[in-house]
Structure 1
Amino acid sequence: MKQSGTSSLLQDAVQDLASGVVSALRSGDHARAAAPVAVDPEAEGLALAAVRVLGADALLPSTLLHTPPPPDELAVFHKAVETYPPGAQAAPTVAWSHWAMRRTLLRLDPGHAGGPGEEPDAAWLEGASWQLLTHQLAVLAALALPGEDSAVARAAVHRPVDVARGFVRAVRRRDWRQAAGAGRWLTLLDGVPKTLGLDNGLDFVELMGGQDPLVALQLRAARLTRTGAFV
């Protein structure tokens, strides 16, 4: 029961953090997007865990809008990276998420951050079915950034039609989080079938699932990428 309660608290914290990111992206101001570290050790641990779950997107307003993050938010992010390194047996998506966070630190705080290191292995994406590819890309949507290269991004670049198929499948299955994540990747890819109607598709996902902050975050990132508003 305690574990279930903790999980629920973490889910709520992640939702709150995502809502802050969405608000900052909409306003164009990095206003309290990241979770503050509280004095209570338990609350601090929850805040750090929420940042680690959201990953590099916790500082997405600074990344996309080119605004420096407040020092306290940067400190929370940095501590989350150091507190939750991936274990030796971590899933590839966990390793990649951590790598993306370290790359974000290097971009936003180069004087106090080591480099992201070598890219994790991406062999599991080679030959992946379009269903699996879309699922994994949606989990790693924080890597879907304009002008940023990685093995994961290259896997997406080489298979725009498959990602489009995965987007449609996610919409049909009413998996709005996966649809939003796939849609964010599609805004970066050349060769997406025009018959997909991506803009209308994103509108539909927002209508049906946009009340979920994690969906809204991906959609807002997709919109900014689509319009070039981050430049």
Structure 2
Amino acid sequence: MEQSGTSSLLQGAVQELASGVVSALRSGDHARAAAPAVADVEAEGLTLAAVRVLGADALLPGTLLHATPLPGELAVFRKAVEAYPPGPGAAPAVVWSHWAMRRTLRRLDPGHADGPDGEPDAAWLEGATWQVLTHQLAVLAALALPGEDCAVARAAGQRPVDVARGFVRAVRRRDWRQAAGAGRWLTLLEGVPQTLGLENGLDFVELMGGQDPLVALQVGAARMARAGAFV
């Protein structure tokens, strides 16, 4: 029961943090995405865990809007990176998510970040079915950034048709989070079939799942990429 309550609290914290990111993206005010101030150790732990779940997207406004986050926001993000390193045998997606956070920290707070890290192994994506590929890319949607290059992005770029198939499948299954994450990748890929109707697809995903801030975040990032608002 206690574990279930903790899980609910974390889910609520993640939703609140994602809502702040969405507000910041829509308003252009990166400061509104800052993690809330914490009053005690327990609250701080919950906040750090929420930042770790959201990953590099916790600082997405700073990345897309080319604005330096507030010092307190960077401090919370940095603590989350330090508090939750991937353990031995961690899943590839967990390793990549942590790598993305470290890369974001180096970009936005170079004075308090370690030196560059080599990319993790992305071999697990080679030969993955289109269903598995789409699922993994949706989990790692924080890596879908305009002009950014990494092994995961290259793997996605080699299979735009498969990602499009995964997007359609997610929509049909009403898996709005996966559809939004796949759609965010598709906005950056060349060779996406015109018949997909991605713009209308994103409209539909936003309509059906946009009350979920995690969906709204991914759709918002996709729209900014399509509009070139990050330049």
| TM-score, shorter chain, exceeding 0.5 | yes
Distance 2:119 2:13 in 1: 29
Distance 2:13 2:69 in 1: 20
SS in 2 for 1:32: helix
Please provide the CA RMSD for this pair.
0.7
1:154 aligns with 2:121: no
Distance 1:191 1:34 in 2: 36
The residue that corresponds to 1:117 in the other structure is: 117
Distance 1:80 1:37 in 2: 14
Tell me if the contact between 2:163 and 2:182 (Cα under 8 Å) persists in the aligned partners: yes
- Contiguous gaps of at least 5 residues in structure 2: none
Deviation at 1:112, TM superposition (A): 1.3
The residue that corresponds to 2:2 in the other structure is: 2
Q: Which runs of 4+ in 1 moved over 4 A?
A: none
The residue that corresponds to 1:38 in the other structure is: 38
1:83 aligns with 2:83: yes
Distance 1:98 1:37 in 2: 23
Q: Give % identity.
A: 84
TM-score, length of structure 2 as denominator length:
0.99
1:95 aligns with 2:124: no
Tell me if the contact between 2:209 and 2:215 (Cα under 8 Å) persists in the aligned partners: yes
The residue that corresponds to 1:63 in the other structure is: 63
SS in 2 for 1:87: coil
Distance 1:60 1:115 in 2: 21
Tell me if the contact between 1:102 and 1:115 (Cα under 8 Å) persists in the aligned partners: no
Q: Deviations over 1:8-62 (max 9, x none)?
A: 0000000000000000000001133132341310000000000000000000000
Distance 1:116 1:155 in 2: 21
Tell me if the contact between 1:160 and 1:190 (Cα under 8 Å) persists in the aligned partners: yes
Tell me if the contact between 2:23 and 2:32 (Cα under 8 Å) persists in the aligned partners: no
The residue that corresponds to 1:13 in the other structure is: 13
Written as runs of structure 1 = structure 2, the 5 A alignment for 1:152-191 is 152-191=152-191
Distance 2:166 2:116 in 1: 29
1:52 aligns with 2:52: yes
Distance 1:15 1:137 in 2: 20
Q: Deviations over 1:76-125 (max 9, x none)?
A: 00000000000011110000000000000010011110134111111110
The residue that corresponds to 1:139 in the other structure is: 139
Tell me if the contact between 1:99 and 1:116 (Cα under 8 Å) persists in the aligned partners: no
Distance 1:31 1:100 in 2: 21
Distance 1:99 1:208 in 2: 32
SS in 1 for 2:31: coil
Distance 1:203 1:149 in 2: 27
Tell me if the contact between 1:135 and 1:178 (Cα under 8 Å) persists in the aligned partners: yes
Distance 1:202 1:210 in 2: 10
2:58 counterpart letter in structure 1: A
